[in-house]
Amino acid sequence: MADRYLHFTGTAPGRFLTRRLGLPQPAPLRRWTLDTPRLDGPLLHLTAGDSAITDELAKALATTGLTVDAQAARPAGIVLDATGVSSARGLAEVHAALHPVVRSQAPGGRIVVIGAPPSFEDHHQAAAQQALEGFVRSLGKEIGRGSTAQLVRIPAGAAPGAAESTLRFLLSPRSAYVSGQVIELTTAAPDPVADQDAPLTGRTALVTGAARGIGASVASVLARDGAHVIVLDVPLAQDDLVRTADRLGATALPLDITAPDAAARIAAAAPDGLDVLVHNAGITRDRRLANMPAERWAQVIDVNLDSVLRTTDELLTSGTLNRGGRVVATASIAGIAGNHGQTNYAASKAGVIGLVRSLGPRAAAGHGVTVNAVAPGFIETRMTAAVPLFIREAGRRMNSLSQGGLPVDVAEAVAWFAQPGSAAVNGQVLRVCGQSLLGA
Ligand code: NAD
């Protein structure tokens, strides 16, 4: 369903009228294309306080392909290294660094603040570093014009190159619908990548629920990044599934993910093992709890959570998930904020968040595998097209970018998690929601 309001505000009369009425002004977002793979302008690298990672950060920023220019008058990206800010007074340097430049940033720009994990031993450092979270989330809400702001925490002792894949993602058109997020990196060293334009070359990825919607888009983006993709969906969706597979040179696997032998059939379809496992299949069966039969509750928990747990466990223990593997599950902002009529769905999606946070560190230690989740907000798909008009419009506008996201926005986040270079990204839940006010 097209967002007519977004088109209307892009016309001169629409802009005039909506400004006069004080209505939201969504800026069209620039997403990745072959012709526009990078942000349109230079990058400003600023520092607040003393930093121990200046050189390492400069090296990571050089891999973004953007020109780093200390005098850039109209930067597309601004990176502020605030890892050394360790007191309330030190926060003045954050203000001093960004206050003079924030207004001059190009539309659709990116601000990335680099922080350190808040310390358990030094409450002054912890206060200052936690302050950056409130700062970035507020900045994301006020900068407008399709720009975004994030906080990336880099721990002491991070491996060389650990932050590169994350900075490349955040400082590119691929993260167009991600804002107000906090990403905590680990010290794990990135796995080597031969070709940054096709980082998944030689890897096999399986995407569940890939016949349509977000899953089909995830499959496309992983194939674009070089992976051989196995697309899985229920046998009823076989026609759409085969169409998706044919388009991508992928393998179609018609299979209900709740089947008791699902993991065994996935393993049989991937004789050389899996490098990327994307749990995207999901259903809703909405009713208020008072009216919800046990069957509707069970269906949602089974597809959205139990099958994710079961197949992940079995594919890990059978060794089907190769070392350096990536598991990406799909949560939802409903799993963070809760939603009327969705006790079952929100429980299942909150469960996915619990799974990711608990299993991530252990999967890395035991199998060299990372486990992360995307938490989409309002994404324009068949699922959201079925939402009643008023709620749909509220979903589209109640975020910092005043519009819904597209399936490709979720897909790009999944592809970032899936990269070999993203070994230091583990146990994270990335909201792809334009900084929705729900659960903020
Ligand atoms: P969709 O309904 O368009 O697609 C879901 C796909 O999963 C369908 O092709 C369906 O056949 C498949 N599927 C369902 N049950 C299955 C099963 N048992 N085995 C195998 N495949 C099965 O949904 P979508 O909007 O593309 O959503 C994809 C994921 O993103 C879901 O997990 C959903 O909960 C989540 N999500 C979506 C939004 C949104 O705004 N669209 C927001 C938050 C989270």
Rounded to the nearest whole angstrom, what is the distance from the C-alpha of residue 289 to the centroid of ligand 1? 22
Average pLDDT for runs of 10 along the chain of length 440? 80 82 86 94 96 96 94 94 98 98 96 98 98 98 96 97 98 98 98 94 98 97 98 98 98 98 98 98 97 98 98 97 98 96 98 98 95 97 86 91 97 98 98 91
Q: List pLDDT tens digits, range 393-409.
A: 988 999 999 999 999 99
Q: List pLDDT tens digits, range 310-326.
A: 999 999 999 999 999 99
Q: List pLDDT tens digits, range 187-224.
A: 999 999 999 999 999 999 999 999 999 999 999 999 99
Nearest to 90 by CA among 69, 55, 115: 115
Apex CA 354: angle with CA 153 and CA 368, to 5°?
A: 65
Pocket test for ligand 1, best of 178, 207, 280, 345 (most atoms within 8 A of CB): 280
Closest residue by Cα to atom 10, ligand 1, is 209
- For the sheet with 148-153, list strands across it: 43-49, 77-84, 110-115, 148-153, 181-184
Report the mean per-residue pLDDT for the chain.
95
Q: List pLDDT tens digits, range 41-67.
A: 999 999 999 999 999 999 999 999 999
Q: Identity (one letter) of the amino acid at 237?
A: A
* Measured distance CA(75)–CA(105) in Å, rounded: 5
Let me know: does 47 contact 54? Beta carbons within 8 Å: yes
Known catalytic residue at 345: yes
- Which contiguous run of DSSP H or E holds residue 122? none
What 3-state DSSP class applies to 265? Answer: helix
Q: What residues line ligand 1, using a CB cutoff of 6 Å? A: 208-209, 211-215, 233-234, 237, 256-258, 280-283, 303, 330, 332, 376, 378-379, 381-384
pLDDT for res 391: 86
Pocket test for ligand 1, best of 253, 258, 283 (most atoms within 8 A of CB): 283
* Measured distance CA(418)–CA(137) in Å, rounded: 26
pLDDT for res 340: 92
Rounded to the nearest whole angstrom, what is the distance from the C-alpha of residue 15 to the centroid of ligand 1? 35
What 3-state DSSP class applies to 58? Answer: helix
Q: Identity (one letter) of the amino acid at 264?
A: A
DSSP output for 336-378: HH--TT-HHHHHHHHHHHHHHHHHHHHHHHHHS-EEEEEEE-S
What 3-state DSSP class applies to 181? Answer: strand
Pocket test for ligand 1, best of 206, 379, 431, 432 (most atoms within 8 A of CB): 379
> Is residue 21 classed exposed, middle or buried when 0-12, 13-18 and 19+ CB atoms within 10 A define those classes?
exposed
Let me know: does 352 contact 330? Beta carbons within 8 Å: yes
5, 32, 345, 378: the active-site residue: 345
**In whole angstroms, how far apart are CA 373 and each of 217, 390, 410, 423?**
16, 29, 10, 14
Number of other CB atoms surrounding residue 340 within 10 Å: 10
